[in-house]
Amino acid sequence: MNDGQRSDIQSDDRSDNQWVSFVELATRRGISKEAAHRLVRRRGWRRQSDNRGRVLVLVPVEELAQAEVGRPANQSDNRSDSPPDNRSDTEAMFQVALQAKDAEIAAKDAAIEAKDMLVTELSAGLDQARVEVTELRMEIAAGAIALEQAEAAARAAEERAERLEAADAERRGQGRWARLRAGWRGD
């Protein structure tokens, strides 16, 4: 693309705006590409793709002129001929603080998302454990019922055995003739 075409793409009808890519915006502002994306979203600047599929942003020229330290690029480095501009220094510090906070928020969002996933996994594990505990309680209850039935059957068998032993002892205590007579009568 020649310089004539480039100026057509990068200039708008208004001379106080200029079309630039995110990389160029980041370079000229002295910020990262991600920070440039956030800046464009915050300011609501117009975006469109060029013929090569590259996204360009319509940026006010005074915003493009912001140097890395937060003062306009066309401002002289010799501060003796102009009064100090504390506003641009404050603005630069604000931008740096804002970027730091954005990074901190993104890190905390990622940590929260990771913790949410962990909570979801732990909740699923807890639900599964509750189901297993319920199943074990049902098995224990069924086992307790079976144990009670077995103990009742054992007691009944012991009582029957005791009665049979008592009847056998009583029968043996009788004489032979008494046993024969009792057997004859059906006692």
Question: Looking at residue 45, what is its pLDDT?
Answer: 93
Domain map of the chain by residue range? 9-72
Report pTM.
0.34
Query: Strand locations in the chain, DSSP E?
Result: 17-21, 47-49, 55-60
Closest CA to 9 of 66, 45, 44, 58: 58
Question: Looking at residue 10, what is its pLDDT?
Answer: 47
* Segment 51-72 mean pLDDT: 75
| Burial (CB count <10 Å: 0-12, 13-18, 19+), residue 19 | buried
What is the token pair recorded at 146? 């079976």
Question: Residues 85-124: pLDDT tens digits?
Answer: 566 778 888 888 899 899 999 899 899 999 999 999 999 9
Inter-helix orientation angle 33-43/22-29, to 10°: 100
Confidence of residue 155 (pLDDT cuts 50, 70, 90): very high
